[in-house]
Amino acid sequence: MTAKETSTLPTNLGDPALLEAIDKLFACNVGQYINLPQLVVVGDQSSGKSSVLEGLTKLSFPRDSGLCTRFATQIVFRRDGKLLERQITASIIPGNDTDSKEKQKLEAWQADSLQNLDHEGFTKMMNEAHDTMGLSSMTGDGKPTFSNSVLKLEIAGPNENHLSVIDVPGIFRTPTPGRTTIADRDMVYNMVVQYMRNPRSIILAVVPANVDTATQEIIHLARIEDPLEERTLKILTKPDLVDAGTMNRVIDMIEEGNRHGELGWIVVRNAGQAQLEEPGYDRDLEERMFFQSSPWNSLEEDNCGINSLIERLQHLLSAVVTREYPKVELEIAKALSEAKQALKDLGKERDTSFQQRALVLDVITEFQAVTGYALTAHYGMHDILKQDRTTRLVTIVSNRNARFSDDIATLGHRYQFHTHPSAADNETPGPSFSHEGQRPPKLQFKLKRQATDTSPKEKLEEADESLSNRGSSQSIEPAKKPSVESNRSKVADIQGILPEKIGITYPRQMGIIAWIAELYRDYRGFEIGTYNPILLSALMTEQSVNWTALAQEYISDIITAVHEFIVSVLENICCDKKLSSGIMSLMRADLQQRYKQAVDQFTQVSIYFMFEELIQMDISRQERLEAALESKTKTVPGYGEVISTGDLKIHNNMSNTEHAVQDLHDVLKSYYKVARKRFVDNVCMQAADYCLVTGEQAPMKLFTPSWVNQLSDRQLERLAGESRANQRQRQKLQKKINDLEAGRACLGY
């Protein structure tokens, strides 16, 4: 607040209801959570703070440093027209680190007979407050020296003005043997800084006028917490102790400080202890006479005297409260909402086995619901399914199924099959004929061997040698990119049961005929015009050599996806990590057994050689014939598509070995296609879907209410018992909620 703003403040005391509401918020401990407007008196122990407070309150504060400097004191003035005389009440506001039992003790304390609070009565009351707070009379008795609790003095009467001031212990640099320690010094320093740091506080920095103000630590702290000095009012005390040669310098400092947009300086003259003990001593009269003397009478009236200080404080506090009150209301509502949410995040209380069992049952019930949504792709039904893509299990499995099928189709075979082996190389062109005026020759089949026929081995090796050499036997990993993006920390406990990855070889694009011919010769018996039936099994086994490696990678990915789903869902729906990790710990053995069953089921999925499908061989032959003769057909008007009988001779050019090898190729191609689809279906449906996702033995089916009901009380305590840290956090949040709700009630909500 600038000087200009101060000059425009209203001369009245603002809205007394707002000032009273702020006082009630302090009484409800709301100031521990929300920055409330307040006046804070700070200074060194010897700065004259107590004398300033005496002038403000007209109370005889004890001067013993072992009393009023041991805790913060809030002094509240309240005008009450219903009262006939001044009434003083004293109470204790517990600190925010006070436990519930101590809190009840402090809140129950009240001082008696304070209407005539003279020096002796004040000292007695302060001693009672010390004892109630459990403070030591000197160090070494095991009790604390200072307290974070606040002594509240409420002064009400028909002639009082609304004003609230907080006096904090004076800072000191050197501990006093037998009274204070280094720890006490640091505690007081932190307490003072905490009050000054409140952006809604007006800092009343008290410094004696008979010292160099530039060396005063409290001025340095005020500039740190309020760099622009918009909320720091500096109060000079002990002007009667200033040397005659420095009086004008002090006066110049006061006048200069009040001309520069800050709250500036004000000087007060307090009575000494001896003067206070004089009968009939009038403190205010003595002060007025002092400031009427030279050179102090050169100061403006607003910059000197306790009455000027009271009036300025009233205006300052009224302006701050009026400006900040709406923000305070909003911050209280926000803090209350956040505290309730934090308490909700801790989950229900679980001190008893009944509460613990109910909590775990709630978790399992919600887990089942999320699993149901995930397996039906109803991702909008729960927040975790919207936010965490690793929980969209059915989509992950479906996408992996499709890629597994593609991997088997593109990487599963050793050799690439021929689409339709060409017979055009051995063809002899048929007779030509005209499309007009001629009838097509009669179709005839002429089976004729070529004059230069070579042996089957020579022909196959010549035709396929160069192509076979183009194949590669380079070993590669089963996947060129990660199959499932997994969090290693979530799957670390199942790594030991996942199938080991096996390298695969690139399929060879050429060379299948030479390979079949080689195996044909290796397995040849006394068959005439046919082949050993065992040969087809050998060919199929070697042609599908990569299936197992690709399937192992696939089943590992599905197990990983399922385990990540379980861990992610539990971590999301459990109130803390202890509960989710505890459930996983108890379930680990059973989960691993389910995963192992899926791996075992995968290994039992065999490649069935369904020879009934060999009828597809004839279809392949027909396709080969149609492909070879397609270029020989001609369209004749009136007859449609025709072919010369001479063009059919191509089918008599192959030897028995060539026929057998070609038949083996066609049978292997037909069966491989059927067996590949059946293999993919068996692995996906039996090992993955049934064992891991939707079947009765799926790992998610372990999480049932019956499992919870079988847990012993000891297991429940270890699983769902609340940690001490959580218990303390719960108590702290509950206290905060109670205080904030009490504050809202004071505001009329």
DSSP state of 176: P
Q: In 3-state terms, the chain is what percent helix, strand and coil (to 5)? A: 55, 10, 35
Q: How many domains does the chain have?
A: 2
| DSSP codes joined into one string, 18-42 | HHHHHHHHHHTTGGGTS---EEEEE
Domain shared by 310 and 398, yes or no? no
Residue 626 has pLDDT above 70, yes or no: no
pLDDT at 239: 92
Buried b (16+ CB within 10 A) or exposed e, 64-81: ebbbbbbbbbbbbbbbee
pLDDT at 569: 93
Helix axes 724-746, 100-108, angle to 10 degrees: 30
Buried b (16+ CB within 10 A) or exposed e, 695-726: beebbbeebeeeebeebeeebbbebbbbeeeb
Pick from 11-20, 108-117, 363-372, 376-385: least confident: 11-20
Residue 211: phi, psi to the nearest 5? Answer: -130, 165
Q: pLDDT tens digits, residue range 694-740?
A: 988 899 999 999 999 999 988 888 888 887 888 888 888 998 999 99
Looking at the domain assignment, is residue 512 inside a domain? yes
Looking at the domain assignment, is residue 716 inside a domain? no
pLDDT at 1: 39
| CA–CA distance, 253 with 595 (Å, rounded to integer) | 83
With a pLDDT cut of 90, the percent of the chain lying above it is 21
| CA–CA distance, 76 with 87 (Å, rounded to integer) | 12
Residue 499 has pLDDT above 80, yes or no: no
Domain shared by 302 and 370, yes or no? no
Residue 489 has pLDDT above 50, yes or no: yes
Residue 140 has pLDDT above 70, yes or no: no
**Minimal CA–CA distance to 457: which of 518, 510, 512?**
518
Task: Look at the chain and count its residues.
Answer: 749
Would you say 502 and 637 are in contact if contact means Cβ atoms under 8 Å apart?
no
> From the CB of residue 181, how many other CB atoms can be counted at a distance below 10 Å?
15
Would you say 697 and 559 are in contact if contact means Cβ atoms under 8 Å apart?
no
Domain shared by 64 and 199, yes or no? yes
pLDDT at 453: 40
Q: pLDDT tens digits, residue range 566-625?
A: 999 999 988 778 888 889 989 989 998 999 888 888 777 644 444 444 444 444 555 555
pLDDT at 112: 61
With a pLDDT cut of 70, the percent of the chain lying above it is 78
Looking at the domain assignment, is residue 582 inside a domain? yes
Residue 561 has pLDDT above 80, yes or no: yes
Looking at the domain assignment, is residue 346 inside a domain? no
Q: Edge-to-edge, what's the strand order for the sheet holding 72-79?
A: 87-93, 150-157, 72-79, 163-167, 38-43, 201-208, 232-237, 265-267
Domain shared by 677 and 617, yes or no? yes
pLDDT at 653: 58
The better pLDDT of the pair 96, 436 is held by 96
Domain shared by 386 and 331, yes or no? no
Residues near 247 by beta carbon (within 8 Å), at least 6 away in sequence = 295, 296
The better pLDDT of the pair 57, 37 is held by 37
pLDDT at 558: 92
Average pLDDT over residues 533-543: 83
**Minimal CA–CA distance to 21: which of 30, 13, 33?**
30
| CA–CA distance, 496 with 627 (Å, rounded to integer) | 53
pLDDT at 423: 37
DSSP state of 687: I
Q: pLDDT tens digits, residue range 42-66?
A: 998 888 888 888 888 777 776 654 4
Domain shared by 302 and 399, yes or no? no
Residue 530 has pLDDT above 90, yes or no: no
Domain shared by 256 and 395, yes or no? no
Residue-range definition of the domain harbouring residue 599: 361-710
pLDDT at 708: 92
Would you say 76 and 91 are in contact if contact means Cβ atoms under 8 Å apart?
no
Residue 629: phi, psi to the nearest 5? Answer: -95, -5
pLDDT at 236: 93
From first CA to last CA, the distance across the chain in angstroms is: 31
Please report the beta strands in 475-619, taking only residues with DSSP state E, as ranges in sequence order. 475-476, 504-505
> From the CB of residue 529, how many other CB atoms can be counted at a distance below 10 Å?
9
pLDDT at 203: 93
Domain shared by 271 and 307, yes or no? yes
The better pLDDT of the pair 400, 100 is held by 400
Average pLDDT over residues 498-521: 83
Q: pLDDT tens digits, residue range 263-277?
A: 889 999 987 766 766
Residue 650 has pLDDT above 80, yes or no: no
pLDDT at 292: 92
Residue 486 has pLDDT above 60, yes or no: no
Helix (H) / strand (E) element for 467: namely helix 456-469
Average pLDDT over residues 457-484: 41
pTM of the model: 0.56
Residue type, 611: F
Cα within 13 Å of Cα(147), Cβ side: 28
Cα within 13 Å of Cα(102), Cβ side: 14
Average pLDDT over residues 248-268: 85
Average pLDDT over residues 412-430: 58
| Cα torsion angle, 92, 93, 97, 103, sign | positive
Average pLDDT over residues 324-353: 89
Would you say 107 and 151 are in contact if contact means Cβ atoms under 8 Å apart?
no
Each as own residue / partner, the long-range contacts of residues 328-333 (CB below 8 Å, 24 or more positions apart, any chain) are 328/22, 328/25, 328/34, 328/36, 328/37, 328/200, 329/747, 331/34, 331/35, 332/25, 332/30, 332/34, 332/740, 332/743, 332/744, 332/747, 333/744
Domain shared by 368 and 337, yes or no? no
Residue 370 has pLDDT above 90, yes or no: yes
Looking at the domain assignment, is residue 406 inside a domain? yes
Would you say 142 and 178 are in contact if contact means Cβ atoms under 8 Å apart?
no
Helix (H) / strand (E) element for 73: namely strand 72-79
Domain shared by 427 and 331, yes or no? no
Looking at the domain assignment, is residue 355 inside a domain? no
Would you say 647 and 430 are in contact if contact means Cβ atoms under 8 Å apart?
yes
pLDDT bin (cut points 50, 70, 90) of residue 471 is very low
Q: How far is CA 192 from CA 150, 186, 266, in A?
A: 13, 10, 21
Looking at the domain assignment, is residue 727 inside a domain? no
Pick from 170-174, 331-335, 381-385: least confident: 170-174
| CA–CA distance, 688 with 397 (Å, rounded to integer) | 9
Residue 392 has pLDDT above 90, yes or no: yes
| CA–CA distance, 541 with 712 (Å, rounded to integer) | 53
Q: How far is CA 573 from CA 340, 417, 576, 717, in A?
A: 18, 52, 9, 19
pLDDT bin (cut points 50, 70, 90) of residue 647 is low
Task: Report the mean per-residue pLDDT for the chain.
Answer: 78
> From the CB of residue 40, how many other CB atoms can be counted at a distance below 10 Å?
21
pLDDT at 373: 93
Range picked from 23-27, 166-170, 421-425 for highest mean pLDDT: 166-170
Average pLDDT over residues 520-536: 73
**Minimal CA–CA distance to 453: which of 315, 245, 671, 657?**
657
pLDDT at 117: 66
Helix (H) / strand (E) element for 43: namely strand 38-43
pLDDT at 365: 94
Beta strands 72-79 and 150-157, pairing class:
parallel
Helix (H) / strand (E) element for 93: namely strand 87-93
Q: pLDDT tens digits, residue range 197-249?
A: 999 999 999 999 988 887 888 999 999 999 988 899 999 999 988 888 889 88
**Minimal CA–CA distance to 533: which of 454, 609, 631, 452?**
609
Q: pLDDT tens digits, residue range 3-15?
A: 333 333 333 445 6
Pick from 282-296, 364-378, 619-633: least confident: 619-633
- 3-state SS, residue 90: strand
Domain shared by 404 and 503, yes or no? yes
**Minimal CA–CA distance to 308: which of 378, 257, 233, 241?**
233
DSSP state of 304: B
| CATH number, domain with residue 30 | 3.40.50.300
Looking at the domain assignment, is residue 144 inside a domain? yes
Residues near 323 by beta carbon (within 8 Å), at least 6 away in sequence = none
Q: pLDDT tens digits, residue range 293-330?
A: 999 999 988 899 999 998 888 888 888 888 899 999 99
Domain shared by 39 and 159, yes or no? yes
Residues near 419 by beta carbon (within 8 Å), at least 6 away in sequence = none
pLDDT at 333: 93
Residue 483 has pLDDT above 70, yes or no: no
